[in-house]
Structure 1
């Protein structure tokens, strides 16, 4: 965001030349592992549902997905966004790394993109294999869906911006409660494992003039879904955001909110697929 404190700083004579330098993609992703389209089509053709979890409005729920299985998040009754956390089901220290996912794939993810895990593991935890909102692309405001730029609505920022407000159904708190219930961890210990999310169905971007994070009404409608292939054994946490479709505000009970459905499917076969190994870096960091 431009700072008013910079208003008095004069531009140098070569300012336009400096601004005109073309960008370079930091992390070209062409070499990243990506599911083969034909393989995915065959996988999706024969799925058997093994579980389902209904996430209530303004609440969260946990679910488990075995490696090699598929999970689907569906809008059921009305436009609703969800905040998704993923952990290694056997090791909470390996969790979804939204920042690295953003660096590798961009601000929003869709079919073919991976959800990458935290250091030192840095491997795909899941891949998006189908997205009924894949048609949306990037709109005239710079908005798109399924972002990895927002952090999750939380009670700390709400308290900061609302002069001391205490709201307990922010996605951060929702995810903290269900992780504590799922694992038996004390509440504050569980909170330490809650992390930046994939904002499922949320339509977001950055304003062109100030560079500020914005949200707008989600284009999701009942029956829309996003589907993932689990690359490792996963524990998931999904919060049905108190902002509903996030067209106006969150961190309050004023928005219309709806449930989200999580379904887990077993494929008939996965062929010669094997779970990815943790990252191959030797972790010596230049020290003999």
Structure 2
């Protein structure tokens, strides 16, 4: 018997930013004459941060085969505005692909980036209910690892990201919930989070269009392709299934961007029901 599907809670109205101009992003994905302006490879169990100007494209590649990565994104000029994984999960999906957008935190709430190309889009849903490019979970970190194993380990994704953003003046407090790229996850029959082996092959990619100027950071997960258990029965060091991830940044021909402009921040102006510059006894919110 086919499973029932309940309607999504968050429904787009006409003209909403959730109603993506697919023709534009298809034009971006297929644009010829791209200029490669930055390219590097992030070694295993490390992290790196990089800048992407507004209107540019950046691509993450599994250069040697399956490997998951943990992606953080900030407004390059205001790191208080950063990727909001949980709201993106509600507005888009728990696993994202082409035409999905990565949304920023309050009070800004606007698309930071839009996915333009995904070579793993055909993965779909596997026999366990798993899907790729995960927003259900978050980064591995040394604190949980210490709880589970009693040991210190300095190369979890949280730590890799902390080191990556330090040159930009950011700290551990700026590292946030993220997009697990190339990672297959789901919820099992007990409604518990599971991770399974990465399906990516050499040359697979996930590509994004930068809606505003971005600072990005990526960790190459110490779990590698997640084919080896990290905790519990059978757990062992999976270093033999760890691989690098490549990053490429492209400048587009100005003609491709015709009609596009960076999204504005949310225009809510209600001040949360508070009247400013009034004594507390006249402000209902102070009651």
* 1:183-198 pair list within 5 angstroms: 183-185=168-170, 190-198=171-179
1:228 to 203, 208, 216: 208
8 Å Cα contact 1:34-1:112 kept in structure 2: no
> Does structure 1 conserve the Cα–Cα contact (< 8 Å) formed by 2:184 and 2:195?
yes
Aligned equivalent of 2:75: 88
Other-structure match for 1:165: 151
Does the C-alpha gap of structure 1 residues 216 and 48 become closer, same or farther in structure 2, counting only changes over 3 Å? Answer: same
In structure 2, stretches of 5+ residues that fail to align are 276-287
Per the alignment, do residues 245 and 272 of structure 1 end up closer, same or farther by CA in structure 2, a change over 3 Å counting?
Answer: same
Match of 2:125 among 135, 138, 143: 138
1:28 is aligned to 2:11: yes
- Secondary structure at the residue paired with 2:26? helix
- Cα distance in 1 for partners of 2:230, 2:157 equals 10
Distance 1:281 1:250 in 2: 44
1:246 and 2:226 aligned: yes
CA gap of 1:73–1:22, structure 2 versus 1, over 3 A, is: closer
Any gaps of 5 or more consecutive residues in structure 1?
Answer: 1-19
TM-score, with length taken from structure 1: 0.86
Where do 1:41-190 residues align within 5 Å? Answer: 41-43=26-28, 44-46=30-32, 47-162=34-149, 164-180=150-166, 182-185=167-170, 190=171
Give the TM-score normalised by the residue count of structure 2: 0.87
The answer to whether the 8 A contact 1:53-1:61 is kept is no
Partner Cα distance (1:283, 1:65) in 2? 33
Contact 1:241 1:250 in 2 (8 A): no
Count of aligned positions: 262
* SS state at 1:102 partner: helix
C-alpha deviation, 1:282, in angstroms: 1.4
Contact in 1 for aligned 2:65/2:203 (Cα 8 Å): no
Structure 1 position 151, deviation (Å): 1.0
Question: Of residues 199, 209, 216 in structure 1, which corresponds to 2:196?
Answer: 216
> 1:22 & 1:275 partners in 2: Cα distance?
35
SS in 2 for 1:285: helix
CA RMSD of superposed structures (Å): 1.9
> 1:279, 1:40 → 2: CA distance?
22
Secondary structure in 2 aligned to 1:53? Answer: strand
Deviations 1:12-55 (A, max 9, x none): xxxxxxxx998442111464345433322333322111101211
Q: CA deviation at 1:138?
A: 1.2
